[in-house]
Structure 1
């Protein structure tokens, strides 16, 4: 998404560009740690100490905690940092039975809304690196994009809501949903998504363009007109989506008393919703069908759009110059290919791009990991013609602290 024409201040972040130049530069690790040691957000007595989920958003270049009651609620004009910590359970070497939890393992996510500003995205990226330093440098880092979240990210939330707007931040301001409006027309799409790592379904509430072309018969939609709320149930929607819509409407009507009407697509009355959204009697065609692509890409779709083949590359400066070479693809890729003296990039058939850092990798190899991943993505776009490659989630793990998702990807 290109910056809006005429912007005088700092531009809106273009996800196709590298906003993360601060990651992997010559910044010294000690400087980062010292900075982290004075960051109030990391020194609240919970970070790195207690298991669970913590979320912050970036506001005026600062890391601001998100109230726990707002967890799972994101604005597309903002950038967020998430820390998920869980106990690592050791195993009894004699019988293989689970033992006691001896330490915490951490997953760090920086989530970039599609209309976040350049300053917010940069601060989120830098502060994620800083928090990793604070945690001892062993966390798995994930770059998340609103339009194509990883399964690991979605698995954190049984319910996820993405709304338009955001906080005023730095040089960039997005209108708040709380701002007065002459006429309210808000359309929410409610749909189910399967999060692979934990094998469960998440329900997403996603604000979409308020037009009849956004309707899809597989999902449920909530149309808020200010003085009335409509619930439009697609003919193929699931009971889970209907239940979530009822909960959302309940929350919406707590603050205001308005008329609510629920209509199924199969009812003739459902045409009233299409008309409210600018449609006419012919909207949806003769069969009354409505089809609209979902606003996020699932991991299966990413794999289908990619080459569908896993590839493993080595980043090494053993020759005196940094080299990036293919070392295996398809069934030949395994964890036996990994060498603790170097950095490796695993393209998991377009689902996720993983970067693995060996303990003995040089500082130069480690410093450039994200730049190499982004350069690889750009190559996929230009040479292989995969225009959607920039949406692929990117994650980094370190030898000895590999996440379960990475081990599953490398050992397939």
Structure 2
């Protein structure tokens, strides 16, 4: 058997949307590679974009665990993102008004504990009620958290934000000194377009390593959870909560678990953003963050972990790609185009792929039964026939 047989078989089993996503992704990677080699895109900025895409993927994973799995409408994505960001920043930053100077791992734990407590606080009175009560409460929570961050200067430094945030690996052996210890490199693949790999590049590579670890672990946990009996209960609740309750399931408990899990993942995204950007302010809790997360989940496919990952990458591509339009002479201001493009994407998805680009069927049922691949194999005879045959012998 040729070594290429397995990849060819895997490509042959792809559905049409999966093949389309793969083709677009490969073309986009080739475009980025060409931009890097020609100097149009700096390597440090490229790694920053990768980190930002990982952050939005985490936000999408968190919302997918709530809405995609259980049908919980959460409009406070920015609030839990801000809790994670400020929780870590206030524990680790030299400019923190309350603590500061602690190890980033302490900031990570504090951020997750506060997010856990806040999720319980908002979930206990609302999750026993209809879904719209959670939507209203979460919408109010997002605004309350933003106003506290903006006005309580003794706690959050107010509109000035928190500065002096260290890198996540500050104080770690080897990794803390890795960027400074690495030599500066100058690569020139295309004549006249040198690529400089300096301290900032090596620091950004550590950030990419961190977000890949966070996102990879989250994807693995959610994938296993979605296929488990726990995940099947969540999907039943999303489809028909009364049916799940009639089957003897404590739907309130399952919804609480799903809500807390998603909130912790959103806080984890905030922790990463803090140590990526090295600054956090009230503007980072803007409601547009919640909007972006919802668009990513709807675009990728509600309940699909692969879809949430793809949607987060698309959002960053549109959000950051429009910045390069400033270098092009256009008769209009290109800044508002990002929301226009996102609106066009939403309309197109709702028109042609209302279930999302990568719906979760591939993750949940037999791959051969997806997109006309045929039904799973069934036994030639029933159980009674087999028993009868065995008795005759």
Pairwise TM-score range, normalised by the shorter structure: under 0.3
Q: Higher helix share goes to which structure?
A: 2
The normalised TM-score by structure 2 is 0.24
Instruction: Give the number of the structure with larger relative contact order, counting CA–CA contacts within 8 Å between residues 6 or more apart.
Output: 2
The normalised TM-score by structure 1 is 0.23
